[in-house]
Amino acid sequence: MSTTVRSAYITIGQPLGCKLKEQKCKVLTSTANISPLPFLTSQHAGSLSTVLTTYCGGIDKGEALNGVRILGAPVGNKSFVEQYQNKTLQKLTSAVSTLHHLISDPQIATSLFKFSLQHYTSHLLLTDILHNKSTTSTTSIHNSDFTNTINTITQSFIS
């Protein structure tokens, strides 16, 4: 963290309640599962090591080599993104199943699905499009395993 950013964080952020949580602090240094640290100049490696140690609880805890989540959206290699999407789809499937078993009123169930459960996946659609752009035409509707699963979950909820 540069001196200017650190100074602003201390004088503005901390009084407003902003806190850095070491367990959430990750620095995405690579998406190829290989740390670039051995390949950096000693000055750059030292700076990166200092940031990882000071703000992220150490190099082994703070260095991300496949991806990170930023505001809930996965940023990283295709495998990292797909793994996160699959985990989210599993949670959605479980929540929809629970909703079916607990709520007998269709209007209440539909409202809960629309305003709560659908938001499990909406923020992941852009990431999905970016990682599947070669299969998406500009003249067609986006189609992928992720969107097909969302459609299947939605159809099972409706029926």
Encode pLDDT of 9-56 as tens digits: 778 888 888 877 777 888 999 999 999 999 999 999 998 998 888 888
Say what the pLDDT of residue 132 is: 78
Q: Dump pLDDT digits (tens) for 73-99.
A: 899 999 999 999 999 999 989 988 888
pTM listed for this prediction = 0.74
CB atoms within 10 A of CB 33: 10
Say what the pLDDT of residue 135 is: 53
Residue owning tokens 């080599």: 65
Say what the pLDDT of residue 24 is: 80
Give the integer Cα–Cα distance in Å for 92 and 97.
9
Q: Are strands 27-28 and 73-76 parallel, antiparallel or unpaired?
A: unpaired
Domain ranges in the chain are 3-65, 70-158
Give strand pairing partners of 40.
none
